Amino acid sequence: RGFVIVFNSFANFACLRACLCVSARRQATHRQAQTGKIGFGVRLRRELSRTAKELKTITKPRKKESAKLNFLFRVFVLLCFRDKNISCLVPACPGQENIMTKAQLLLKRFNNSKTLPHVAIRLSRLISNENSMIREFEEIIRLDPSLVLRLLRVVNSAYYGLRQKVDDIGRAVAFIGMKSLHNLVVVEALKDVFKKSPYEDIFSRRILWFHCAAVSICSKMIAERIFGQKGEDVFLCGILHDIGMIVEDQVAQDLFLQTCKACQSESGQITEYERETIGTDHCAIGYELARDWKLTLEIQEGIRDHHKMLKNVSPSSITGIVQTAEYIVSRSGYPAIPGMEGTLSPPLTAHIQDNIKEYKTLVRDLPDEMSKARELYEIQEG
């Protein structure tokens, strides 16, 4: 009887319109799912939303029939979304599992493009092995002679302030430590990835690089000055926290540029626009990359959660420090994207308020630390 009501009323036109929309695009959307282009999901969601409103308007005078139509419409939506070619194309409210699956897909395409230097990937995996020897690091680094020269130049710069000149990788490790050397290698290897992009007015890789460098340096300052911790891990997390944006720009550029435009013209978190347009976000992609590199769990979580509003985050954790650093850096003139502000969870806000004098001093000293680290993050075009 319910189906008779549907097809004997004008409401069937609205349902059929959404049905035809799905049917006509079935093959096209399957290809979009394969290539990562999922913009049709937004169109489908709007179409279904309009259909729901029309059904509500049409059946308003008759409550019993309205309830039946509402039930049938929900069944219709579920049937549409059960289709494998459709379910992955609707990023309106994607579950965490779908976000991570999409992130893995984009990262796989990124890795296949061989954008990241092989030396950085090998070293990142080597650092996770506690039994690694200095000799193994030297052997990998020496595969890239220009990298050796750049590393030695940075090690002898004002940022480290060494009294003796270092002219050998082995001595560099002895002076600054294996983790610090590893972080330098990652920084030097990533510089080429962040060079000038063709759409500088919408998204600038150079601006993103300076943002990441500032967050890494600020994170290290917070760890060492505020909490008395070693700063190597938070430094690495800071330099990599937005690497997911590079992946998006590399393998889903059109969709990513749409996200950047929306972020600049409207209020809201960039991750919301990413999930709606791309189906995942740069935090999830960066998390998957950190897992692939076998970085520590704390660094993985710091990359994944740096845009989340967290209720129970510890200010001294890597996540807490990186989120605090990004908030400070974004408000100090180094945003990842113009107009974009960092997230600051309530426990971190309270922590800064309780230690406001120390943070004021830190913010005042940040430009000087950035200047000292110029050799570290400056990109040479050519």
pLDDT digits (tens, 9 = 90+) for 106-133: 989 888 876 666 776 777 677 666 677 7
Compute the average pLDDT of residues 350-375: 92
Where residue 290 falls among pLDDT bands split at 50, 70, 90? Answer: very high
Written as one string, the DSSP assignment of 16-64 is HHHHHHHHHTHHHHHHHHHHT--THHHHHHHHHHHHHHHHHHHTTT-HH
Q: What is the pLDDT of residue 95?
A: 67
**Residue of 88, 71, 91 lying closest to 80 (CA atoms):** 88
179-182: long-range contacts at Cβ-Cβ below 8 A with a sequence spacing of 24 or more? 179/127, 179/232, 179/233, 179/236, 180/232, 181/137, 181/151, 181/155, 182/123, 182/124, 182/127, 182/137, 182/236
Q: Say how far apart CA 165 and CA 148 lie, in whole Å.
A: 15
Q: Between 12 and 111, whose confidence is greater?
A: 111
Where residue 164 falls among pLDDT bands split at 50, 70, 90? Answer: confident
Q: What is the pLDDT of residue 67?
A: 54
Q: Which two tokens stand for residue 141?
A: 């680094």
Q: Say how far apart CA 140 and CA 150 lie, in whole Å.
A: 15
291-322 tens-digit pLDDT: 988 889 999 999 999 999 999 999 999 999 99
Contact 340, 330 (CB under 8 A): yes
| Model confidence at 78: pLDDT above 90 | no
173-196 tens-digit pLDDT: 777 877 887 788 788 778 878 876
For 181, half-sphere exposure in the C-beta direction (CA atoms, 13 angstrom radius) is: 24
* 188 Cβ contact list (under 8 Å, min separation 6): 147, 150, 151, 154
Contact 46, 52 (CB under 8 A): no
Query: In terms of residues, how long is the chain?
Result: 382
Q: Which two tokens stand for residue 368?
A: 């000087």
Q: Say how far apart CA 162 and CA 155 lie, in whole Å.
A: 8
Where residue 147 falls among pLDDT bands split at 50, 70, 90? Answer: confident
Q: Between 58 and 158, whose confidence is greater?
A: 158
Q: Say how far apart CA 166 and CA 174 lie, in whole Å.
A: 10
